[in-house]
Every structure is written in structure tokens, then in C-alpha cells.
């Protein structure tokens, strides 16, 4: 059973990491990962392996608790969230659209573990010849065996040619599956269902008798001869794993994403109640008027709202912000605020006098645990500036959001 990883938090100070985990920090810097060369804090969520027995999980900001047991559970939840996000963002070719990360590989790892839990090691159904045991083969018996005549004149065969079937695990597909699952169990067994404690079972099967560099090539050659849906799906998953697996590189191995903001936004869109799609295509776009003929040239891409929620007659435009948001210095700046003001103006141009509100949604340890309630535009006397709407601030428990995302359920929260 693999050792459980040490649990750290996304956006931990690089100086703290350097002081406490020198090998991890030096490897991150050597490979220019986690933005440790550009930022004062580590930007990474996911699993960092420095060896088969030493690994670290960076969970989202505000996720850590005081209990080590609880933090291990949160670490498992984080990996499952990244796996689900990788599945949700796959394109038609099965590739993840996530930038600066390899969450697609995490989802592939989970696919392989799920396949093994449901079906076991891939087996080919083989039929072999036997005598007097199994399904009779009368034509072969008549040709190969000596017949005798019984006392009542009936033809009797003392020996009957028969055949039996068995499940064979000697194919290339089965051998590569075994070897890959042993790798997966070594690094990921602690968070995957169905792999912990099954290493001995896997080692009882035959492994490939050709180098690892050829595993993917062998499977590609095998694909055209596969017809069963499970065999095709398994082969493609194994090829994806082998092609993407960064453990072929020296040093640290990372399974995760540099910027968790994209995951935070995706989760909120899935778990908040009343989310209404299709608004980006309805919002106005900038256009340039030509001097020669007065015609307008409209830009293809307009404003891209994160989340629009309908609550009765009220439309609420929410901007998912993966900020600490505990002080002005770590909260959304003027560009983010202006964007929200423009969302309000754009929405007003479409819906007229229908009530509209806007807001930022920040991660927190617990719901509503945050210092700010609202962002306003004020004059030099701190009086509200005329014509500028206020922007609400909403804090949601990052752990509850992750649990709801995995459970495909809506959060029961009030949205200001």
C-alpha cells in the first residue's frame, strides 16, 4: 500500500516551502513548475511525487483543517475533483482543455482504476481441445476416435473429443494493463477506489516482456484487431496514460494544475442553484465603424460572463474569483471591478428594467466566512458615486463546493 502524502495548501509561501521541503522546492524550481520562479507563492493544486515513497498533495486555498485525518480526506477529494474536471473538459479527441496542467492524465488514471474495479484484468476467451471433459465435438470424435458397437447395436465411443474455454491473461493488452496498474497503485492507490491492497494480486499476472518505451507502440498496433468496446476503451486509456505520463522525465512528477481558478469557476457553475446558460451570445459586442462607407465591423468575441443566475425576475452575474479576499491587497482590483460594472451595463441593455445584481464569489473555510460584503464605487468624500451599482461579495466553503461537485448536487445557499 503506498504511503499517504503530506498535505500542503495551494498558494503556500515559497520561502516556507524552501525552509521545510528543500527537495520539493528545488525540483519545482528546476522544472519551472508551480510558478515558483515568478511568484512568492506556489501556484499548484494536485499531486507532486519526488519518489515512490515521498509525495505531496497541494489542496485548494482555504481547504486545510487542523485534523491530519481530515486533511487526508480533503487531499483525496481534491484529486477526485481534478479527475472529474479532466473528464468534464475533454474534447471529442479525449484531450483535456485545461491549461498549465495535466488533469487529463489524472482522469485517465481514474478511468484505469475504475475499469479494473469493474472488470478485473483483461481476459481473452480461449477454447482448447480436451478429452471427455467439456463440450463434445462429435465430428472430430468420429474422425479421430475408434468406435465400438455395443451389445444392442449402437455405436459407442470410449473417448470423446471435447473442448473447454478459459480466460487467458497473456495478451499484450492484459500484460500492459497489469504493469500500468502497478505504476498507478504505487503513486495513486491512496486516493483511488479499488486499488489499495491489491498489488500482490496484480503481481501474480504476467508483465510485458518488452521495454516500457514500446508499450504504447504495441497497443497502437493492436487497436485495429480489437472489436469489443471494453478492449478498445482500455487500450486507448492505456495509450493515453503512457503518452502523457511525465514519470519518464527525471526528477519530480506532477499530476495537477497550476491555476485552480478554472476549476473553481467550473465547480461553481455546476453547483450553484439557478444557473442559466446562453447569456454570452446575447450580450452586446464592440463594433468599429468604417470611414469609407459607414458600415460596422463587429468583433466576434464579446463579454464572457462566468455565471449568470436567475432568481425569479432577478438576474445575478457572478464572477468566480480564486482570491484570498481577506484584505484590499489580495482582493479583486480595478480591472475586475470594471468588468463587473460592464456586465451590469451590458445586461441592462438586453433585459431593460429587469432587476440585476452582480457579485464576486471567493473560496473560504466555511460559508460566509469573509471580511467583505460589498464593493462600491465612491467619490472623494466616500459617498456612493452616482450611476455605479454595488458588487456583492460572497464566500463559499471550498470543501463543500468540491463535495457538491463530486456528488453532482446543488448547494443550498442564499445568493445576495
Over the stretch 351-388, which tens digit does the pLDDT of each residue have? 887 767 889 999 999 999 999 999 999 999 999 899 88
Domain that holds residue 164: 125-168
Q: How far is CA 358 from the centre of its chain?
A: 29
The verdict on 340 and 236 lying in the same domain is no
CB 103 within 8 A of CB 96: yes
Q: How far apart are CA 196 and CA 170, in angstroms?
A: 24
Instruction: Say whether pLDDT at 393 is over 70.
Output: yes
pLDDT greater at residue 134 or residue 115? 115
Task: Kindly tell me if the per-residue pLDDT of 147 is higher than 80.
Answer: no
Can you give the pLDDT at residue 125? 60
Phi/psi of residue 331, nearest 5 degrees: -115, 170
pLDDT at 248: 55
Q: Say whether both 389 and 325 belong to one domain.
A: yes
Contacts of 277 (CB under 8 A, 6+ apart): 308
Note whether 136 and 270 are same-domain residues.
no
Give the residue, 208 or 194, on which the prediction is more confident: 208
Is there a single domain that holds both residue 26 and residue 56?
Answer: yes
Could you give the 3-state DSSP secondary structure of residue 272?
A: coil
Q: Are 209 and 172 in contact (CB under 8 A)?
A: no
Higher pLDDT, 196 or 341: 341
Mean pLDDT of 19-32: 89
pTM, whole model, 2 decimals? 0.85
Q: 106 and 93, same structural domain? A: yes
- Poorest-confidence range of 14-23, 262-271, 276-285, 369-378? 276-285
Number of independent structural domains in the chain: 3
Which of 222 and 400 is assigned the larger pLDDT? 400
Domain-embedded: residue 1: no
- Of the candidates 223, 257, 291, which is a domain's last residue? 257
| Percent share of the chain, pLDDT over 70 | 92
> Do 280 and 266 touch, CB atoms closer than 8 A?
no
- The span from the CA of 319 to the CA of 358, in Å, is 8
Q: What are phi and psi of 389, to 5 degrees?
A: -75, 160
Structural domain includes residue 249: yes
pLDDT bracket for residue 247 (50, 70, 90): low
Q: Is 87 helix (H, G, I), strand (E, B) or coil?
A: helix
Is 218 in the same domain as 236?
A: yes
Residue 294 has pLDDT above 70, yes or no: yes
Backbone angles phi, psi at 148, to 5 degrees: -125, 155
pLDDT tops 50 at residue 128: no
Residue 194 inside a domain? The answer is yes
* 3 state DSSP class of 300: coil
In this predicted structure, the answer to whether residue 144 has a pLDDT above a threshold of 60 is: yes
Same domain, yes or no, for 306 and 340?
Answer: yes
Residue 337 has pLDDT above 90, yes or no: yes
Q: What is the mean pLDDT of residues 217-232?
A: 90
Per-residue pLDDT, averaged over 44-49, amounts to: 93
164 and 141, same domain (yes or no) = yes
Handedness of CA 63, 69, 75, 77 (dihedral sign): negative
DSSP state letters, 161-208:
EEEEEEEE--SHHHHHHHHHHHHHHHHHTTTSTTTTT-HHHHHTSPPP
Residues 144 and 107 in one domain: no
Domain co-membership, 94 together with 223? yes
54: pLDDT confidence band, cut at 50, 70 and 90?
confident
Which of 86-95, 140-149, 380-389 has the highest average model confidence (pLDDT)? 380-389
Give the model's pLDDT for residue 206. Answer: 87
In the prediction, which pLDDT does 164 show? 56
Q: What is the mean pLDDT of the chain?
A: 87
Would residue 414 count as lying in a domain? no
The pLDDT assigned to 137 comes to: 79
Percent of the chain with pLDDT over 90: 55
Of 131, 159, 136, the C-alpha closest to 147 is 159
Cα–Cα distances in angstroms (integers) from residue 22 to residues 11, 27, 56, 227, 329, in the given order: 17, 9, 13, 50, 29
User: Would you place residue 214 in the very low, low, confident or very high pLDDT band (cuts 50, 70, 90)?
Assistant: very high
Residue labelled with grid coordinates 492524465: 105
Order of strands, sheet of 55-59, starting from the edge strand that comes earlier in the sequence: 6-9, 55-59, 45-49, 253-257
At residue 235, does pLDDT exceed 60?
yes
**Helix, strand and coil in the chain, % to nearest 5:** 40, 20, 40
| Of 257, 280, 303, the domain-final residue | 257
Per the document, the length of the chain is 416
Per-residue confidence (pLDDT) for residue 77, from 0 to 100: 97
Instruction: Determine, yes or no, domain membership for 160.
Output: yes
Residue of 132 and 72 predicted with greater confidence: 72
Residue 106 is assigned to a structural domain of this protein: yes
**More confident: 11 or 313:** 11
More confident residue, 199 or 252: 199
Burial class (CB in 10 A: 0-12, 13-18, 19+), 92: exposed
Residue 30's CB is within 10 A of a number of other CB atoms, namely 13
> Among all chains, which residue has been given the C-alpha cell 500500468?
180
Least trusted range by pLDDT, from 130-139, 226-235, 299-308, 337-346: 130-139
Asked if residue 124 lies in contact with residue 167, where contact means CB atoms within 8 angstroms, the answer is: yes
The C-alpha atoms of residue 124 and residue 278 are separated, in whole angstroms, by 48
For residues 280 and 305, is the Cβ–Cβ distance under 8 A? yes
Residues 272 and 323 placed together within one structural domain of the fold: yes
Q: What is the pLDDT of residue 241?
A: 93
For residue 351, the model assigns a pLDDT of 85
Q: Which residue did the predictor score with more confidence, 226 or 265?
A: 265
* CB 138, CB 159: distance < 8 Å: no
In-domain check, residue 214: yes
Name residue, grid cell 445586461: 347
Amino acid at each position: 500500500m503506498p504511503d499517504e502524502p503530506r498535505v500542503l495548501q495551494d498558494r503556500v509561501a515559497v520561502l516556507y516551502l524552501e525552509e521545510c521541503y528543500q527537495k520539493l522546492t528545488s525540483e519545482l524550481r528546476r522544472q519551472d513548475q508551480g510558478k515558483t520562479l515568478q511568484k512568492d507563492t506556489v501556484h499548484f493544486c494536485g499531486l507532486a511525487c519526488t519518489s515512490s515513497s515521498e509525495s505531496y498533495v497541494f489542496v485548494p486555498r482555504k481547504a486545510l483543517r487542523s485534523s491530519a485525518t481530515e486533511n487526508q480526506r480533503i487531499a483525496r477529494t481534491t484529486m477526485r475533483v481534478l479527475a472529474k474536471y479532466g473528464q468534464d473538459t475533454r474534447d471529442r479527441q479525449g484531450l483535456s482543455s485545461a491549461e498549465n496542467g495535466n488533469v487529463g492524465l489524472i482522469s485517465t488514471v481514474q478511468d484505469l482504476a475504475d475499469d479494473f474495479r469493474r472488470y478485473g484484468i483483461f481476459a481473452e476467451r480461449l477454447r482448447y481441445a480436451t478429452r471427455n471433459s467439456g463440450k463434445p465435438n462429435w465430428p472430430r470424435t468420429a474422425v479421430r476416435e475408434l468406435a465400438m458397437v455395443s451389445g444392442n447395436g449402437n455405436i459407442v465411443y470410449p473417448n470423446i473429443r471435447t473442448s473447454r474455454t478459459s480466460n487467458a491473461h497473456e495478451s499484450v493488452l492484459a500484460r500492459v494493463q497489469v504493469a500500468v496498474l502497478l505504476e498507478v497503485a504505487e503513486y495513486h492507490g491512496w486516493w483511488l477506489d479499488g486499488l489499495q491492497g491489491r498489488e500482490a494480486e496484480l503481481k501474480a499476472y504476467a508483465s510485458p516482456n518488452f521495454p516500457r518505451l514500446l508499450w504504447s507502440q504495441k497497443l497502437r498496433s493492436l487497436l485495429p484487431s480489437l472489436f469489443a468496446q471494453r478492449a478498445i476503451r482500455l487500450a486507448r486509456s492505456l495509450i493515453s496514460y503512457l503518452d502523457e505520463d511525465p514519470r519518464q522525465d527525471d526528477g519530480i512528477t506532477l499530476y495537477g494544475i497550476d491555476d485552480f481558478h478554472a476549476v473553481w469557476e467550473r465547480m461553481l457553475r455546476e453547483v450553484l442553484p439557478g444557473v442559466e446558460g446562453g447569456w454570452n451570445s446575447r450580450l452586446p459586442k464592440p463594433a468599429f465603424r468604417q470611414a469609407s462607407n459607414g458600415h460596422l465591423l463587429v468583433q466576434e468575441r464579446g463579454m464572457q460572463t462566468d455565471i449568470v443566475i436567475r432568481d425569479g425576475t432577478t438576474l445575478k452575474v457572478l464572477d468566480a474569483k480564486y482570491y484570498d479576499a481577506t484584505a484590499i491587497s489580495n482582493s479583486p482590483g480595478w480591472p475586475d471591478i470594471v468588468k463587473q460594472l460592464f456586465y451590469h451595463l451590458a445586461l441592462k441593455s438586453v433585459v431593460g428594467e429587469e432587476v440585476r445584481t452582480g457579485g464576486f464569489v471567493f473560496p473560504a473555510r466555511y460559508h460566509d466566512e469573509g471580511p467583505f460584503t460589498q464593493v462600491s464605487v465612491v467619490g472623494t468624500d466616500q459617498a456612493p458615486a452616482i450611476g455605479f451599482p454595488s458588487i456583492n461579495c460572497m464566500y463559499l466553503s471550498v470543501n463543500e463546493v468540491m463535495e457538491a461537485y463530486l456528488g453532482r448536487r446543488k448547494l443550498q445557499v442564499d445568493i445576495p
